[in-house]
């Protein structure tokens, strides 16, 4: 995949709706804005453009209707080509090594990149926000949600312990994060607001206009002070252990991928793991097991 410029965007729209504000819109509504390889690097290019533009003070992340994001696009391969904006390589190594390299860059490190942007970011979430879609919302400084928004992480049902960017306990609190993951049930916008994950809940028809109003209010503040506040709050979260916990959780994510492959030959498993374990347990262990 070639280096991506704003002019070459295919799955993202980069807009300047009002002075001081950039809006990045995920535009794959047919697949509910599922995030594949191209979208990931287009998002990165758009975020980078917003950061480099001195006229942009605040960046909004949105998704074309009907839903904010259905998560990762597991069917999209990227045709085996990579821009390599990070420091990891050997993506084609295969096995656990190749997957670790791929997911380090396109999920974990990319999300950390976006969280650390020098300008404030706002996620405007409507409809469904699932799995990898959570990661896209969670990197933003503020989350505004429509009153019909629903959040879910179904990864445990797929044999994985959670998304790669494991912000669950920091977004929801310890007990609620466990319930959210272990049950895999939908979390409403109202409940997300109660738990502190969502800043504001508004009518769906008012979501984008509210995001613009909030962005303009922030854009009108002294920008260095805004950026310094963002950095200080992020640093406080990291001093409380977030960044180290995130790396450990990512290792657990990779471990569950590898465990699924050992049991079933597939890194993502919705069914069949229990049957595989039972089959293993029912025969004597040998050196080939």
CATH code assigned at 175: 3.90.226.10
User: Is residue 247 a part of any domain in this protein?
Assistant: yes
Count of domains observed in the chain? 1
Of all residues in the chain, what percent carry a pLDDT higher than 70? 87
3-state secondary structure of 45: helix
Residue 95 or 175, more confident: 175
Average pLDDT of 40-67?
96
User: Is residue 145 a part of any domain in this protein?
Assistant: yes
DSSP of 152-194: E--GGGGT-SS-SS--HHHHH-HHHHHHHHHH---EEHHHHHH
Q: How many residues does the chain have?
A: 289
Q: Tell me how far apart the terminal alpha carbons of the chain are, to the nearest angstrom.
A: 40
Pairing state between β 150-152 and 128-130: parallel
CA–CA separation, 114 and 65 (whole Å): 23
Show the domain range for 18.
6-281
Whether 261 shows a pLDDT value over 70: the answer reads yes
pLDDT at 269: 66
pLDDT at 95: 81
3-state secondary structure of 143: strand
Q: What is the pLDDT of residues 142-182, one digit of tens each?
A: 999 999 999 999 999 999 999 999 999 999 999 999 999 99
Q: How confident is the model at residue 37 (pLDDT cuts 50, 70, 90)?
A: confident
User: Is residue 193 a part of any domain in this protein?
Assistant: yes
User: Is residue 202 a part of any domain in this protein?
Assistant: yes
User: Is residue 287 a part of any domain in this protein?
Assistant: no
Q: Which residues pair with 25 in a beta bridge?
A: 13, 62
């Amino acid at each position: 995949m070639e280096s991506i410029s704003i002019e070459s965007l295919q799955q993202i729209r980069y807009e300047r709706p009002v002075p001081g504000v950039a809006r990045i819109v995920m535009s794959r509504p047919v697949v509910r804005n599922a995030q594949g390889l191209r979208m990931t690097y287009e998002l990165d290019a758009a975020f980078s453009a917003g950061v480099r533009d001195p006229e942009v003070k605040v960046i909004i992340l949105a998704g074309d209707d009907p839903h904010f994001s259905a998560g990762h696009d597991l069917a999209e391969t990227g045709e085996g080509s990579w821009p390599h904006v990070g420091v990891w390589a050997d993506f084609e190594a295969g096995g656990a090594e190749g997957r670790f390299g791929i997911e380090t860059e396109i999920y974990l490190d990319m999300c950390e990149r976006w969280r650390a942007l020098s300008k404030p970011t706002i996620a405007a979430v409507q409809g469904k926000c699932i799995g990898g879609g959570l990661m896209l919302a969670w990197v933003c400084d503020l989350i505004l949600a429509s009153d019909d928004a629903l959040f879910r992480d179904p990864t445990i049902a797929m044999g994985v312990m959670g998304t790669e960017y494991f912000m669950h306990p920091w977004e929801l609190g310890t007990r609620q994060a466990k319930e959210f993951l272990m049950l895999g049930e939908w979390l409403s916008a109202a409940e997300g607001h109660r738990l502190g994950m969502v800043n504001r809940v508004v009518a769906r028809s008012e979501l984008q206009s509210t995001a613009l109003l909030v962005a303009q209010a922030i854009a009108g503040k002294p920008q260095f002070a805004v950026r310094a506040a963002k950095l200080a709050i992020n640093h406080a979260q990291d001093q409380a252990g977030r960044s180290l916990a995130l790396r450990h959780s990512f290792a657990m994510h990779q471990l569950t991928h590898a465990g699924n492959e050992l049991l079933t030959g597939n890194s993502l498993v919705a069914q069949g793991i229990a049957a595989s374990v039972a089959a293993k347990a029912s025969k004597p262990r040998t050196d080939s097991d």
